[in-house]
């Protein structure tokens, strides 16, 4: 089973401890459990960790549970959200239905009732994850987040031998599907984006070191020096050797 990420949003400590005890028992070591006490924190954590399940009280500080759920739905349209409420107010229930919440439980919640509800949420979230992993498909509303995470990973590792498959795997996407989304969101292909970072780094090394081209090629994550030279020429309209020479000439003129 893939890792399930659960977020509990409850500002009453006793209630939070009760919910945590049930969730921890059910997800054991295969999942991640996060907690917070306000609606604002809930939105931030949900977006940062891309949680699968959210159990949230309505009356919480800063932003009530329904407003927080509405914000979360914008970037996690398929997350399983259960709302907890001390009031059987129909207007609350109506809003919850409109937000497609998984369950609406009245407090105090019986342990058996919550456990039964959470197990259903766990099954639904697991099924959703497995379906996404099989198809490699991400809802369009989440494209920006997935591409943003992939770009962060690329910038941290572009000097290594970083393949499209490695980056796609990092964000749990099918490589071909990821390639199409990346091009649509960023405007250039994955290969061009990574090579641009490599060549910018190569230029810095040519300017600040006396490394030979083959070493710079290796430092920038190229396994083939001749391919490095071709990519460099295509982007800079000159060879690494010519670039180094132009830097030296420019330096002498500045010193005259």
Tally of domains within the chain: 2
Q: Domain boundary at 116, 135, 154, which?
A: 135
Do 155 and 239 lie in one domain? The reply is: yes
Do 120 and 151 lie in one domain? The reply is: no
Q: What CATH number is attached to the domain comprising 73? A: 3.40.50.2300
* Closest to 121 measured CA to CA, from 194, 23, 222: 23
Do 80 and 115 lie in one domain? The reply is: yes
Domain boundaries, position 49: 4-135
Indicate the pTM of the whole model.
0.56
Residue 77 to residues 53, 116, 233, 235, Cα–Cα distance (Å): 12, 23, 45, 40
Rounded-to-integer distance, Cα 146 and Cα 150, Å: 6
Do 21 and 120 lie in one domain? The reply is: yes
Q: Domain boundary at 120, 135, 150, which?
A: 135
Do 162 and 243 lie in one domain? The reply is: yes
Q: Domain boundary at 111, 135, 159, which?
A: 135
Mind listing the pLDDT tens digit for each residue in 26-76? 886 667 899 999 999 999 999 888 899 999 998 899 988 889 999 998 888
Instruction: List, in sequence order, every residue forming a beta bridge with 31; answer none if it has no partner.
Output: 4
Axis-axis angle for helices 225-236, 240-255 (nearest 10): 50
Mind listing the pLDDT tens digit for each residue in 130-156? 776 666 666 666 778 788 889 999 999
């Amino acid at each position: 089973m893939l890792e399930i990420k659960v977020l509990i949003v409850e500002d009453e400590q006793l209630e939070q401890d009760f919910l945590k005890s049930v969730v921890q028992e059910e997800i054991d070591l295969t999942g991640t459990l996060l907690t917070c006490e306000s609606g604002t924190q809930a939105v931030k954590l949900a977006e940062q960790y891309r949680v699968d399940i959210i159990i949230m009280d309505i009356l919480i500080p800063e932003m009530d549970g329904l407003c927080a759920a509405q914000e979360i739905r914008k970037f996690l349209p398929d997350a399983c959200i259960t709302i907890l409420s001390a009031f059987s107010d129909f207007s609350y229930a109506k809003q919850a239905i409109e937000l497609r919440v998984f369950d609406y439980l009245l407090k105090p919640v019986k342990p058996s009732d919550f456990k039964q509800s959470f197990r259903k949420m766990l099954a639904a979230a697991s099924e959703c994850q497995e379906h996404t992993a099989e198809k490699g498909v991400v809802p369009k509303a989440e494209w920006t987040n997935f591409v943003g995470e992939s770009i962060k990973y690329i910038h941290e590792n572009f000097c290594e031998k970083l393949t499209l498959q490695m980056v796609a795997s990092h964000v749990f996407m099918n490589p071909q599907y990821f390639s199409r989304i990346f091009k649509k969101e960023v405007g250039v292909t994955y290969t061009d984006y990574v090579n641009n970072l490599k060549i910018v780094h190569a230029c810095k090394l040519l300017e600040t070191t006396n490394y030979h081209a083959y070493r710079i090629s290796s430092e920038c994550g190229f396994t083939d020096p001749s391919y490095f030279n071709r990519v460099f020429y295509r982007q800079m309209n000159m060879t690494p050797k010519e670039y180094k020479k132009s830097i030296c000439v420019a330096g002498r003129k500045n010193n005259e």
